[in-house]
């Protein structure tokens, strides 16, 4: 029987590529009538931690679009270069639909030329999708200058949140002129042109936002199909010293610090984190990435060397870390995170409570939601924001704040209630994915809709 072909087009970057490929694999496991091609766009910024992921042979990976020049990289989103893409692939495949990343909306018009429906795969949560739709409405329906909310000390009523949202946690790409917000908002403006939207979330994680999207008559069909994770990705080597060290630690005694592929701090903030760890009283494992072409000042270097010596009995510092494997380890009882959506879902999956240290994109919004609406995280900061140019570091978060948040996170009394909440949510995440679960059923409805496109 001839298969129905889907083409997935993710944005560059692991945080978009991994959930896209995992969703494609999930679809193939669920229905043998499907075949999938993933169009790969070259990354604008080299990711030194990129790895080759195991992918079903039923998925074709097709390199395509030309990379931007180095002079173009700093200001212009990758999606603007999609116009160079070859579409001869459409001529040789019998396609049922295309599934696009939110920053690949230029392909909607191309798909329409071939009379193909376009679906969206949204790699962040329903809260982010709803918030961005609200900002689009303010900008284009009400002609409001949303950049006025940058760093504003106001709380905004947002239909997709049960609580008012502080302006300081709005995604900078939407309200900061340095990020060219009109370009990003224009992508979300095309949201209503989609036939349906797959979201990497599950109903119990974001019931208010999901219900708000479902009840909005301007919104395409919503399919909450998550959590879509690669939790079996790169594990520890058998002789890994870090794993051996974790194996020797008591259960739930180690706080794990990991800040994503872009989580690189300036030297001053590194020192504040180190002092916080030295004074928090907890065992720790810190995934620390070094800023390129950066050398510590002598004073900073001497402090850090002393820090490593003083804490060698209670902690470890490493470079890249297999995040899922660390979170799965029984010794890990807390997670200091940048609050990227994939990392939040992993923390929930493994039942590890979090402390918030957002840095980029929608991470501040995610942190606010984790703390204020779900009660599953302690606050280190909600509004730390890396400068778009990288030339002006944000004001450092002090070590006292960091140490205090980690103490609260790891405390047996305060942390245990939070841990129960996260563990319960992790159980609901697993239930959502099994037959009869909310995400299982949503994926079934999506497949049925795709198959109708063949008729």
Q: Is 443 helix (H, G, I), strand (E, B) or coil?
A: helix
pTM score, whole prediction: 0.88
The candidate with the shortest Cα–Cα distance to 380, out of 403, 405, 350, is 405
Determine the pLDDT at residue 49: 45
Q: Is 241 helix (H, G, I), strand (E, B) or coil?
A: helix
Distance of CA 451 to CAs 5, 30, 96, 133, 448, Å? 10, 13, 7, 28, 5
Going residue by residue through the chain (455 aa), what tens digit of pLDDT does each one get?
Answer: 678 899 999 988 788 888 999 999 999 999 999 999 998 876 655 544 444 343 443 455 555 444 444 443 333 333 333 444 445 555 555 789 999 999 888 889 888 888 899 999 999 999 999 999 999 999 999 999 999 999 899 999 999 999 999 999 999 888 988 777 888 888 888 988 999 999 999 999 999 999 999 998 888 999 999 999 987 755 776 668 899 999 999 999 999 999 988 888 988 999 999 999 999 999 999 999 876 655 555 556 677 778 999 998 899 999 989 999 999 999 999 999 999 999 999 999 999 999 999 999 999 999 999 999 999 999 999 999 887 555 567 899 999 999 999 999 998 555 568 999 999 999 999 999 999 999 999 999 999 999 987 66
Helix (H) or strand (E) holding 347: helix 341-349
Strands 95-100 and 165-166, how do they pair? unpaired
Catalytic residue among 16, 134, 329, 338: 16
The span from the CA of 352 to the CA of 256, in Å, is 10
Contacts of 36 (CB under 8 A, 6+ apart): 5, 6, 7, 8, 24, 27, 28, 58, 59, 60
H-assigned helices in 87-180 = 88-92, 107-113, 126-136, 172-175
Q: What is the dihedral of CA 204, 206, 208, 213, to 10 degrees?
A: -110
Strands 377-379 and 354-356, how do they pair? parallel
Distance of CA 281 to CAs 275, 315, 408, 415, Å? 11, 11, 11, 14
The span from the CA of 132 to the CA of 184, in Å, is 9
The span from the CA of 280 to the CA of 209, in Å, is 36
H-assigned helices in 169-316 = 172-175, 181-189, 207-215, 241-247, 267-280, 298-310
Determine the pLDDT at residue 69: 45
The span from the CA of 362 to the CA of 170, in Å, is 7
The span from the CA of 312 to the CA of 375, in Å, is 33
User: Is 101 an annotated catalytic residue?
Assistant: yes
What's the burial of 259, exposed, middle or buried (CB within 10 Å: 0-12/13-18/19+)?
Answer: buried
Q: What letters, b where the CB count within 10 A reaches 16 and e where it falls short, cover 29-61?
A: eebeebbbbbbbbeebeeeeeeeeeebeebbee
Catalytic residue among 101, 176, 187, 204: 101
The span from the CA of 368 to the CA of 165, in Å, is 8
The span from the CA of 179 to the CA of 187, in Å, is 14
Domains of the chain (ranges; CATH) run 4-231+436-452 (3.40.50.2000), 241-429 (3.40.50.2000)
Determine the pLDDT at residue 217: 85
Q: Is 220 helix (H, G, I), strand (E, B) or coil?
A: coil
Determine the pLDDT at residue 421: 96
CA 185 remoteness from chain centre: 19
């Amino acid at each position: 029987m001839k298969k129905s072909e889907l083409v997935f087009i993710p944005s560059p970057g692991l945080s978009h590529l991994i959930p896209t490929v995992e969703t494609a694999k999930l679809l193939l496991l669920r229905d043998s009538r499907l075949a999938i091609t993933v169009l790969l766009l070259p990354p604008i910024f080299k990711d030194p931690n990129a790895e080759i992921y195991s992918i079903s042979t039923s998925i074709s990976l097709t390199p395509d679009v030309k990379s931007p020049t180095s002079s173009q990289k700093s200001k212009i989103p990758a999606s603007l270069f999609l116009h160079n893409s070859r579409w001869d692939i459409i001529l040789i495949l019998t396609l049922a639909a295309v599934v696009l990343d939110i920053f690949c909306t230029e392909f909607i018009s191309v798909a329409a030329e071939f009379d193909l429906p376009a679906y969206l795969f949204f790699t962040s949560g329903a809260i982010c999708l709803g918030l961005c739709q609200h900002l689009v409405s303010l900008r284009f329906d009400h002609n409001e200058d949303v950049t006025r909310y940058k760093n504003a000390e106001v709380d905004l009523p947002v239909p997709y949140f049960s609580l008012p949202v502080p302006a300081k946690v709005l995604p900078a790409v939407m309200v900061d002129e340095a990020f060219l917000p009109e370009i990003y908002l224009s992508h979300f403006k095309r949201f209503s042109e989609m036939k349906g939207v797959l979201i990497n979330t599950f109903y119990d994680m974001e019931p208010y936002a999901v219900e708000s999207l479902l009840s909005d008559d301007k919104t395409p069909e919503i399919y909450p199909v998550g959590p879509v994770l690669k939790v079996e990705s790169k594990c520890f080597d058998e002789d890994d010293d870090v794993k051996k060290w974790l194996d020797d630690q008591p259960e739930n005694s180690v706080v794990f610090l990991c800040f994503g592929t872009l989580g690189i701090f300036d030297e001053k903030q590194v020192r504040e984190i180190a002092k916080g760890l030295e004074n928090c009283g907890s065992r720790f494992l810190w995934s620390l990435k070094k800023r390129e072409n950066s050398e510590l000042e002598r004073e900073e270097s001497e402090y850090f060397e002393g820090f490593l010596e003083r804490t060698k009995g209670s902690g470890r510092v490493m470079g890249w870390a297999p995040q899922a494997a660390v979170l799965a380890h029984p010794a890990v009882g807390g997670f200091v995170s940048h609050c990227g959506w994939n990392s939040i879902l992993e923390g929930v999956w493994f039942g590890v409570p979090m402390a918030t240290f957002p840095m980029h994109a929608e991470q501040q919004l995610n942190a606010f939601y984790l703390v204020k609406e779900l009660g599953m995280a302690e606050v280190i900061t909600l509004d730390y924001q890396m400068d778009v140019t990288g030339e002006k570091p944000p004001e450092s978060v002090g070590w006292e704040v960091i140490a205090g948040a980690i103490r609260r996170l790891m405390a047996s009394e305060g942390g245990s209630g939070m841990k129960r909440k996260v563990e319960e949510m992790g159980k609901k995440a697993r239930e959502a994915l099994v037959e009869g679960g909310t995400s299982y059923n949503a994926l079934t409805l999506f497949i049925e809709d795709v198959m109708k496109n063949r008729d």
